[in-house]
Structure 1
Amino acid sequence: MRKQTPNLMAGWREWAALPDLHIPAIKVKVDTGALSSALHAIHIEHFSEDGQARVRFEIHPFQRRSQPTIACTANLIGERLVTSSNGHRERRPVIRTRLMLAGQTWPIDLTLTNRDSMGFRMLLGRRAMRRRIVVNPSASFICGAPDGATPQTDPWSSAAR
């Protein structure tokens, strides 16, 4: 089996999209110190549909903003016990969805948790980056932005919904 080599350079923070969740732009902390990826989620509800475990939740994709609110639904692929950087342990639901970054798209697993007190609504961990991304810790936003988002603009103002 041939090893896949990373072909994407990313900064320590980037704009990404989660097309399966109808999230056209979200600022992501690219965190090589985190194993798992995490997405800010509130009002998390577990349910079953056609025998499939599912989860519905809401997200506020922008830091320090409570609007817009996006309602999401995804297949639940499991739960994971996660220890945060401050040592707090939490059992989190895990979903699989597509991440779009720098024009490339691939499936990643995301744990769902309330990240209101954190600086970023999404954390991209090592499992999602493996064999795809090399991180330049001194750079930011080098992958471009979906829908014209920049650190200074609101991509939601022009995002088609």
Structure 2
Amino acid sequence: MKTFDHLTVIGLREWVALPHLGVAGLRAKIDTGASTSSLHATEIEPFERDGEKWVRFNAHLGTVVQLRHRRCEAQLVAMKTIKSSNGHAQVRYVIRTTLALGDRVWPVEFTLACRKAMRYRLLLGSKALIDGQLVVNPGVTYIQDKPVFPASNLSATGAA
């Protein structure tokens, strides 16, 4: 049996933060079957800033019972067609922002999508797991500490 000492083990669900968006205490579902990560967002509005394409949106946090949201802005990386497991294709905005999970922080691309019907507001896909050098033990949940970052590091933009 091989072991991988340089990789961090995470559970099927973990607490994450998006420091550059000013979002902390967000529960993420880890999905190795999804290539791209996804963030629950509504009221998405594209705009230009200094000749570059940006997007403004409400990031939804918390649970269906205790819903919170935060107005965010991030530079637009791309538009991407995502095909769901049932074959339905949808064009989504893609942003890149920092993700904090445990003691690791790295840039991750997220598609912005309405995940209202989903239990988890953030889905962490395989590209993010590879970039973060993470392996998943699906038999455990919330094994990493909640990410902590100073409030002075928070800003209203998602440029990373």
TM-score (normalised: structure 1): 0.84
Deviation at residue 58 of structure 1 after TM alignment: 0.2
Counterparts in 2 of 1:16-35, with a 5 A limit? 16-35=16-35
Counterparts in 2 of 1:10-159, with a 5 A limit? 10-65=10-65, 67-130=67-130, 132-146=133-147
Residue 126 and residue 117 in structure 1: after superposition, are their counterparts in 2 closer, same or farther (change >3 A)?
same
Residue 60 and residue 136 in structure 1: after superposition, are their counterparts in 2 closer, same or farther (change >3 A)?
same
Aligned to 1:157: none
Aligned length: 143
Aligned equivalents of 2:86, 2:135: Cα separation in 1: 26
Q: Which runs of 5+ in 1 are unaligned?
A: 148-161
Counterpart AA for 1:142: I
Deviation at residue 65 of structure 1 after TM alignment: 4.0
Counterpart AA for 1:86: N
Secondary structure at 1:69 match in 2: strand
Counterpart AA for 1:135: V
Aligned to 2:152: none
Aligned-residue identity in percent: 41
Aligned equivalents of 2:119, 2:67: Cα separation in 1: 16
Secondary structure at 2:95 match in 1: strand
Residue 116 and residue 67 in structure 1: after superposition, are their counterparts in 2 closer, same or farther (change >3 A)?
same
Residue 65 and residue 74 in structure 1: after superposition, are their counterparts in 2 closer, same or farther (change >3 A)?
farther
Counterpart contact for 1:6–1:134, Cα < 8 Å = no
Q: Which runs of 5+ in 2 are unaligned?
A: 149-160
